Structure 1
């Protein structure tokens, strides 16, 4: 398994007391598998994604990546994990405005010491970005910026891709095209994909759908 969560619990303390967000999550994701994570707002989807990304710690349970417990990592190990083992695609594109498209796409791969110009050329062709490589993010449409964000993530060929509503800011037709490209290229890279979405229609296009309800996996 690329990612394995076992008995994961997470709660937050507020002025109104402690709120449990995740109540014992068990989830396994295999290499090259695409999994949609769905559920109502507040069901714990983004929290689970943050734990898998090493951006937060579980209160209890294991978050294993390649058999290693992410929660046991120190800050340096956690930063290296995010640099080399996981790629994150946000609803907000988070491109570097001072870099052109070509430099944005290669940025993560160079940090991870996995820069491959042949693979990058394949990505830019499949994502339809070749005419825009010298442009800057502000010169692109929303759909084009999201394609750049996907290319940046995939360029490093991370074992795991985490995507949080990656088509949420796009119209339906553009979102469908972007999702098709992400799924196809993730398979080509051999990456597992865990994608948060509110859309049952989009979720049905992935290999498997997991529904969170009140901090637990339904069903």
Structure 2
């Protein structure tokens, strides 16, 4: 078992009062496995992803990563966890404007102490970024930036990749191709994948599907 979430609950304060986003969540992902988190908007998918990535703490429950309780970590510990054990792919891309494509792709791998020039070249080639390595983020289309973000995450070969609608900015055919490639590359790197998607068609490409409804896992 790579990561295990047990009895997880999370609420947020709104002007209308407390809103319980997640309720009694139990979920486990094994090494190398791909899992799709599905459900309607507001069902708690992104919140669950943020908790697994150490971006936030649950109100209740435990998250074990390789038998280490990440819910007990302080902010510095969670930052180290994000740097070394998880890769995050969000629709915002979060590329560094002052770095070109090659440097952006290498950034996380170097921070994690796992930079591999040959693996970076393979990722750049497979994701069709060869001609773009000296461009800066502002010189790229949204789809190109998304592929750079995927390459940057996989370059560090993290044990766990967390992706929130990673093909949401791409047209259907390009999104399918990029997801297929991302699944192939993550398997090559030995990464487990926990992916949020609204599309059951895309979810069917992964090893498992988990359905959230009103903050609970129902299937």
Same fold (TM over 0.5): yes
Match of 2:29 in 1: 29
Q: Deviations over 1:117-159 (max 9, x none)?
A: 1111111111111111111112222222111100100111000
The structure 1 segments of at least 4 consecutive aligned residues displaced by more than 2 Å after TM superposition are none
Residue in structure 1 matched with residue 59 of structure 2 by the alignment: 59
Aligned to 1:167: 167
The 2-side partners of 1:15 and 1:105 are apart by 40
Q: Unaligned stretches of 5+ in structure 1? A: none
How many residue pairs get aligned? The number is: 219
Number of the residue aligned with 1:93? 93
Question: In the alignment, what sits opposite 1:19?
Answer: 19
Unaligned runs of 5+ in 2: none
> Aligned-residue CA RMSD in angstroms?
0.9
Residue 176 of structure 1: SS of its match in structure 2?
helix
Q: 1:14: Cα distance to partner?
A: 2.0
Distance 2:193 2:50 in 1: 14
Cα deviation for residue 43 of structure 1 reads 0.6
| 2:54 aligned counterpart, secondary structure | coil
Residue 200 of structure 1 and its aligned partner are, at CA, apart by 0.8
CA distance in 1, matches of 2:176, 2:140: 18
Task: Spell out, residue by residue over 1:80-126, the C-alpha distance to the aligned partner (whole angstroms, 9 max, x if none).
Answer: 00000000000121111111100000000011111111111111111
- Cα distance, 1:177 vs structure 2: 1.4
Which SS does the other structure have where 1:12 is aligned? strand
How big is the shift at 1:192? Answer: 0.3
C-alpha separation in 2, matches of 1:76 and 1:216: 30
Q: C-alpha distance in 1, partners of 2:30/2:89?
A: 19
Distance across 2 between alignment mates of 1:195 and 1:183: 11
Contact 1:143–1:178 (8 Å) recurs in 2: no
What is the 5 A alignment of 1:32-47?
32-47=32-47
Partners of 1:97 and 1:175 lie apart in 2 by 24
SS of the residue corresponding to residue 175 of structure 1 reads helix
Q: What TM-score comes out, normalization by structure 2 length?
A: 0.98
